[in-house]
Each structure stands twice: as C-alpha cells, then as structure tokens.
Structure 1
Amino acid sequence: MAALKYAGLDDTDSEDELPPGWEERSTKDGWLYYANHVEEKTQWEHPKTGKRKRVVGDLPYGWEQETDENGHIYFVDHLNKRTTYLDPRLAFTVDDNPLKPSSRQKYDGNTTAMDILQGCGLTGKVAIVTGANSGIGFETARSLALHGAHVVLACRNIARANEATGKILEEWQKAKVEAMILDLSSLRSVQQFAKAFKAKNLPLHILICNAGVFGTPWVLTVDDLESTFQVNHLGHFYLVQLLQDTLCHSAPARVVMVSSESHRYTDIKNASGKLDFNLLSPLKREYWSMLAYNRSKLCNILFSNELNRRLSPHGVTSNALHPGNMMYSALHQSWWVYTVLFTLARPFTKSMQQGAATTIYCATAPELEGLGGMYFNNCCRCSPSQQAQSEVTAVALWELSERLVQERIGRQAQ
C-alpha cells in the first residue's frame, strides 16, 4: 500500500517542518517517529527540534487503525473511504515532556480569516451564517463567499442583510450570496427560515451560529423567555434541530458555535448542583445583562459538545470558539459601559477580519475534518471551563431546551 498524505495535517510551522525526504508516522500506542527515505532509517526524535512527541485523544468517529503487511500502522477513514499513514490526530500533539506542551498550530491572534482561506477553494459548499449583516458575522460570510462558497446571510433585519450582500457582490460579482430573514427571538421565525431554506433544495455543509446580543435590558421575547437566553442559545438550538436532517444528508458537515471566554465567569446550576432554568431566563429583578450574556455563552459550548456527541456518528461535527478580545461591533451599542471599555482597550483589540479567523478556521480547516467537541481561541484548541465540559450539564441543557421549544411551538399550533 503506498503512503498517502492526509491533506492539511502535513502543513506545519517552520520549526516542525520536516526536511525533504522525511516522513512523520506514529506507533500503535501514539508515539511519533520519523522515517528518512533518503538514508532508509527511522528515529524517535524530530530531525530539526530533537523533540519526542505523541498524539493525544481517541481517533475521530469513523476512523480505524490498521497494520499493513510490513507491520506499519495506517489509518482508515470509513466515512470518506480513504487511507493514510498519517494519524488524523497529528494536529494535536504534545511533547514527551508534559510540562512543555507543543502544538502544530500555525495561526495566532494576528491571523485573519483571509489568511486561513489562502489557496482554499470552497466551490460547491453551502454555508449559513447567522447575524451576518455586520461585524465578524459579515467578515465571516464575506470571506467564505469570496472563496467560492454559496453563503446565506441569515439576519433579523432583511434590509441590512441585503446591503451586506450588495457589498460582497460589489467586491466580486460572481459571489453566490443571498439574504434571508431570521429572527432568533421568535421560534416561529426560526421555523419559517428553516422551511424556506429547505425549499431551496440545497445541501448545507457549514452552519455558523454567530448572531448574538450583549448588554441588553431585560425584556421577554414573543415566546415569553428572557431575550439574551433565547437569541444567543435557544434560537440557535432550534435552528440546528430543524436543519439537522439537511446537515446529515450533506455530511461531512460542520456546525460552528461562536461563544466567548466570558463563559468562565458564571454558573447555571443551583446550590444542589442541578441545571436551574431560573438562572437561564431570570425575572426582571434578578437580571444582570453581563451575567445573562456569560450564561448564554456557557450554553453555547455545552450545546456544541452535546450536538457533536449526537451527530458526529452521522458525519456532522460541532466546535465552539472565542472570536477575540473586545472587538468593536454592533454588540457594544446596547451598553454604554462596553463602549467606554472598548475605547480604553482599543489598541489591544482585534480587527473584524482577525475576529472572524477562528470561526473560519473551525468551519474550513482540513485538519479538523471529522473532529468536534472542542473549544478554540486564536485558532488554537484550548480547554473551556470545567462546567462547560460537563456531559451531565450538557444533557440537562439539551433536554430543557427541547422542552422549552416543544411547549412553545405546541402552544402556537393550537
């Protein structure tokens, strides 16, 4: 069997780049070794850095480890019917010394969405981006469209969405972009959007849940729920449920949840350790906008993880991310304190293109194909809070979200 390269995983930074004639392989127990085809020898140490490394974690769903007739380990991707001698987990390696973690990640906080998509063709791919008429949502949609994807800008304000599509078409007349109305504060609107999208008979390869509100005063939606919770979490939860079949039929497909590092500074469980609905959709006297936002961002990660556990067997993966630190966007307009903080911190903030980079990375990076249930910051995998990693809490949130949707949709149907 000839050695096959797994596109994306052999692109490394300058330090880890192998000299000509060298190949990276892994043993059955996950240790990396290096084959020199010129001198026909192997060694444990990286030929440039001298480091020993190993891969971590289980193989992605659908992958299986096999041994060829020469005793060499190779990997079978049953979903895409391909084989490779490169371990699909090579994007996430650690040094032999556990005190010095090593990553093959080649992007950082200064990377832009366009940097990640350089040389990438997305022709034939269909993507939905919620809240895409401005800010990082617009840059995300624009970046995908300029690289050939058919992009649906799903927005509450259809006039602004049409303006956004016009800007993209001015930049490239052949771009495939369209605007569709989606108001996440109304479950009926979510239902109508999903129905209208399905009527187009398009596949769906990328669903980016980007829309959100921040710092808004307490208000109930038409579905009688606190607005931050519904717009940032429940609306997206229902949207994914309604488009689940389309995603599965389009597999491999990806769902990307835009969360925030602020998820670390909150709790959604009561004193007895159980998920508390009153914390998610509080009464007016118990409402604090910042806390409501933080809780909704925690919900984003929990939902993403549970979604990945449920849909990855069907070829649909989900990852969550933090886009960047205090980027100036329409979100700040709801709260004057945020405007002041942004003014003070502006020299240290990201541009919108930089803010969209991690979203684009999660949506398109070849090395993430088949990998989900992770959290990213600056295009690099990192650990979310302990609570965000709780499967028990994630399941409880999923069941609560299903019940909330069913009660309200059932009530509207009567």
Structure 2
Amino acid sequence: MSASMESILDTDSEDEMAPGWEERVTVEGKVYYANHETKVTQWTHPSTGKKKTVKGELPYGWERCFGDDGTVFYVDHINKKTTYTDPRLAFAEEVKSSIMDFRQKFDGSSTALQILHGRDMGTKYVLVTGANSGIGLETARSLALHGATVIMACRNLNAARECRAAIVKEMPKAKVEVMHLDLASLRSVREFAETYKNTGWPLHILILNAAVFGVPWQETEDGLELTFQVNHLAHFYLTLLLQPVLVKSAPARVVVVSSESHRFSGLTKETVNLESLSPPASKYSDIRAYNHSKLCNVLFANMLCTKLGTQRVTVLSLHPGNMMSSSLARHWWLYRLLFTLVRPFTKSMQQGAATTVYCAVAKELEGVGGLYFNSCCRCEASPKAHDPDLAETLWQFSVKLLQSKVGEIST
C-alpha cells in the first residue's frame, strides 16, 4: 500500500495543531500525537495538553486491516476508500480529569442517536414509561436500535404495539416488549410490577418519562387528582416496587424526566398536603398542578439518590426541552395552538430524547447521582429542589398516602 493513500476523514478536534503534527489513535482507542518533523509521539495534545480516547466499534461498513509491516489502515467498503485515519477519531472524547468533571460534549442540538453512537446496549434491560409517543417513543427506539431490551410500559396497548412494530420493521433484531401500565391506577402499577418481577428479567435502567400536562380536573380511581398521581405518586410507587430488581441488577440507573417548570412551583414543607398536591376541582389549576408535580420529580430523584446511591443505583433528573410538539398539549386547543406556533423554534423528538438517553447511558455519570440536566449538560435545579427537608417531607407524605391507598409498602 503506497504512502499516497488519501485520508478521507478529518478529526473532530477544535484545537489547532502546529504544522507537522498529526492526531492518531491506537487499536485500543488511546489518542496520541505524532510530529513528522521531530519523529516524536506523545499522549497529550501539543497545544492544550489534553488527553483523548475513542470508544465503541468502527462505524458500519468500515474494517480495520493490517499491512505486512504491521501498519494499521482502515477500509470503507461502502465508499470504496482507504485511509490511515481511524474513523472513530471523529467521535474522540477528552479524558476527564476527575469524576466531577462535567465538560459538555453534547448540547441542545444533539440527538439521542448521536449520544448512543458506538454503544452496544445488548446486555441492558431498559423500562420506559409512556413510551408510545413523543420523547418516550424516541427514547425507547434509540435504545432498542442499539441493542437494549426495551420494555414499553404504556396505558394504550394498541398504540404501543404499533410503535413496537415500527421499531422492529426498522431493525428486525430489535428486542422490544410491550406491557400494560396505567399510572392513573395504583392497582395497575402494582400488577405491572408483579408481572415484571415474575419475568425474571433484570432492570438496569428505569426511565420515568410518562406525564400529563394541561388536563382538566380529573379524579383517578384512587380518589386523587390525575396530574399529581400520574406525574409523581404512581412513578414513586412503581420505583419502590421495582427497587429490589434495580438493586439486584446494579449498577443500575433511575432517570426521572422533570421540567424547567419545577422552578415555578410554590410548594413548601407547610403545603405538602392533599389540599395543595391533590386539590378539589374548585381549587384546581392545571399549570400549578403541573409545576408542583415536576418539582416533586426532582425532589424524589434527589431523595432516592441518597437512599440507593450506596447500592450502586444512580438517580438523575432532567428537563427534556421546551414546548416540543408532543402529545402533552393535546388536552386544550389553546395549548395545541401555542405548541404548534413555537414548533419551528423547539427541539425535535430526537433532540428531546437526547438528555434522557445521556443520563441513562453516559459512563462518566456512573455512581454520580442527585444531579439535574438540561440539554445534556449539568445545571442547577431550583433552590427548592435542593432542599433536603422539603424532599424528606415529600417522601414521607408520599409513603403515608400510598399506605392509606394500598396498604403497607416497603421503602
């Protein structure tokens, strides 16, 4: 093979290197730098001093080959090209200096599939609530396309089965299961958890995605206001029931999809009660109910992290995106109109699912829970969300309320 082979890929480095330097990668994925003038190599970037690695397998259609002299080169069978440059360099990542180094690799324009690039999720079991539409569907689809066994936990089984069929059509080997879960029924939550346990499956990632928004006042079969039960209490109950499976499957993660709306909740320790969280129709506001429920999500995630962190269960919460064109706005024509008007300026469903997927799979987050993310980047939640007394008060209130509805539960 002649030395004149054309290199067809550029690296993703944003740091300019002086003339004569070249970025390369070992077979094991360690990035190094070669100086053609001085004939020296080094592991750190010649200008920034940073180190990088690449992960995952070669992109589809590529093959790593070895010359007679041991030289490594890469063949792109699809485009009939050959290069000395490892194509994975396009996705090189900086080596973190510490476990709390959260330099941003992805942002609001990233997609779930980009985050999963090169990842083999074949050994993971992932449960996604509300996976038959919107962000939940894109989350389930993206993980299934990368080998995970995905359980779509949905109230609408017909819609869920249609979504499963679409995923399997896209990738026939995809492993997707559909199970019934109605978060407006605590009985359904208990039956779902019992059914899941009876399968004998592990549970590596629990994604609490389902939510309602802007619904008129409704009372569930358990005598509670719908938004509070679906968005918080039922997910709280589900997690407690599946906690033994999560711990047994550890390392595991719980990913709680919240919202920036949590910042607008006026909930306090004194107002953690039924009148505020599950008000009667005469005192109900759909926006206030939603804001309260989203603050409950972050408080729950933070408290769960303190309880399960030592058992290798990482718990994270997140905001997926603002006013995306999902089914959340379906309950009132004005919300539908508003969401439609802002659609050109908001994230796609793939972009909306990115932060959820990042929290579910990012290796740098292993064992570092109790964090809140927006656009794939760690950010500070509201001061109320960081209040340990408020989190403890909500936890105890939720436990007692569940006990009054379903009997004794294990916490």
Q: Distance in 1 between matches of 2:280 and 2:186?
A: 20
Shift of 1:263: 0.7
Q: Distance in 1 between matches of 2:107 and 2:309?
A: 27
Secondary structure class of the residue paired with 2:407? helix
Task: State the match for 1:296 in structure 2.
Answer: 293
Shift of 1:341: 1.3
Q: Distance in 2 between matches of 1:198 and 1:16?
A: 53
Q: Which amino acid aligns with 2:320?
A: P
Q: Deviations over 1:126-164 (max 9, x none)?
A: 000000011110000000000000000000111111111
Task: State the match for 1:68 in structure 2.
Answer: none
The answer to whether the aligner puts 1:333 opposite 2:335 as a matched pair is: no
Q: Deviations over 1:171-213 (max 9, x none)?
A: 1111100100000111110000000011110110000000000
The equivalent position to 1:364 in structure 2, one of 342, 361, 364, is 361
Q: Distance in 2 between matches of 1:353 and 1:287?
A: 33
Q: For residues 159-174 of structure 1, what are the structure 2 equivalents within 5 Å?
A: 159-174=158-173
Q: Distance in 2 between matches of 1:177 and 1:346?
A: 30
In 2 relative to 1, CA 136–41 (structure 1 residues): closer, same or farther, beyond 3 Å? closer
8 Å Cα contact 2:205/2:253 also seen in 1: yes
Secondary structure class of the residue paired with 1:185? coil
Q: Distance in 1 between matches of 2:319 and 2:215?
A: 20
8 Å Cα contact 2:131/2:139 also seen in 1: yes
The answer to whether the aligner puts 1:399 opposite 2:409 as a matched pair is: no
In 2 relative to 1, CA 149–42 (structure 1 residues): closer, same or farther, beyond 3 Å? closer
Shift of 1:41: 11
Task: State the match for 1:316 in structure 2.
Answer: 313
Q: Distance in 2 between matches of 1:405 and 1:385?
A: 27
Structure of greater Rg: 2
Secondary structure class of the residue paired with 2:131? coil
The answer to whether the aligner puts 1:283 opposite 2:293 as a matched pair is: no
Q: Which amino acid aligns with 1:388?
A: A
Q: For residues 235-246 of structure 1, what are the structure 2 equivalents within 5 Å?
A: 235-246=234-245
Q: Which amino acid aligns with 1:91?
A: D
Q: Distance in 2 between matches of 1:397 and 1:303?
A: 8
Secondary structure class of the residue paired with 2:138? helix
Q: Which runs of 5+ in 2 are unaligned?
A: 1-10, 25-33, 51-94
Task: State the match for 1:14 in structure 2.
Answer: 14
The answer to whether the aligner puts 1:91 opposite 2:90 as a matched pair is: no
Q: Distance in 1 between matches of 2:162 and 2:49?
A: 54
Q: Deviations over 1:371-411 (max 9, x none)?
A: 11000000000001000111111111111111111110029
Task: State the match for 2:227 in structure 1.
Answer: 228
Q: Deviations over 1:47-81 (max 9, x none)?
A: 64599xxxxxxxxxxxxxxxxxxxxxxxxxxxxxx
Instruction: Give the percent of matched residue pairs that are identical in Structure 1 and Structure 2.
Output: 54
Secondary structure class of the residue paired with 1:136? helix
Q: For residues 176-187 of structure 1, what are the structure 2 equivalents within 5 Å?
A: 176-187=175-186
Shift of 1:367: 1.1
8 Å Cα contact 1:12/1:105 also seen in 2: no
Secondary structure class of the residue paired with 1:356? helix
In 2 relative to 1, CA 125–264 (structure 1 residues): closer, same or farther, beyond 3 Å? same
Q: Distance in 1 between matches of 2:250 and 2:12?
A: 27
Task: State the match for 2:341 in structure 1.
Answer: 344
Q: Distance in 1 between matches of 2:121 and 2:402?
A: 34
8 Å Cα contact 2:273/2:397 also seen in 1: no
TM-score (norm 2): 0.77
Q: Which amino acid aligns with 1:164?
A: C
Task: State the match for 2:153 in structure 1.
Answer: 154
Q: For residues 42-53 of structure 1, what are the structure 2 equivalents within 5 Å?
A: 48=47
In 2 relative to 1, CA 173–40 (structure 1 residues): closer, same or farther, beyond 3 Å? closer
Secondary structure class of the residue paired with 2:99? helix
8 Å Cα contact 1:13/1:106 also seen in 2: no
Greater displacement, 274-283 / 387-396? 274-283
Secondary structure class of the residue paired with 1:114? helix
Q: For residues 104-253 of structure 1, what are the structure 2 equivalents within 5 Å?
A: 104-253=103-252
Q: Distance in 1 between matches of 2:303 and 2:252?
A: 16
Q: Distance in 1 between matches of 2:312 and 2:338?
A: 42
Q: Distance in 2 between matches of 1:274 and 1:217?
A: 22
Q: Deviations over 1:298-319 (max 9, x none)?
A: 0000000000110010000110
8 Å Cα contact 2:139/2:356 also seen in 1: yes
Task: State the match for 1:5 in structure 2.
Answer: none
Q: Distance in 1 between matches of 2:288 and 2:12?
A: 39
8 Å Cα contact 1:129/1:209 also seen in 2: yes
Q: Distance in 2 between matches of 1:355 and 1:190?
A: 26
How many residues are aligned here?
Answer: 342
Shift of 1:15: 4.7
Task: State the match for 2:304 in structure 1.
Answer: 307
In 2 relative to 1, CA 336–248 (structure 1 residues): closer, same or farther, beyond 3 Å? same
Q: Distance in 2 between matches of 1:47 and 1:300?
A: 45
Shift of 1:277: 3.3
Q: Distance in 2 between matches of 1:147 and 1:136?
A: 17
Q: Which amino acid aligns with 2:207?
A: I
Q: Distance in 2 between matches of 1:356 and 1:389?
A: 25
8 Å Cα contact 2:222/2:405 also seen in 1: yes
Q: Which runs of 5+ in 1 are unaligned?
A: 1-10, 22-35, 52-84, 93-103
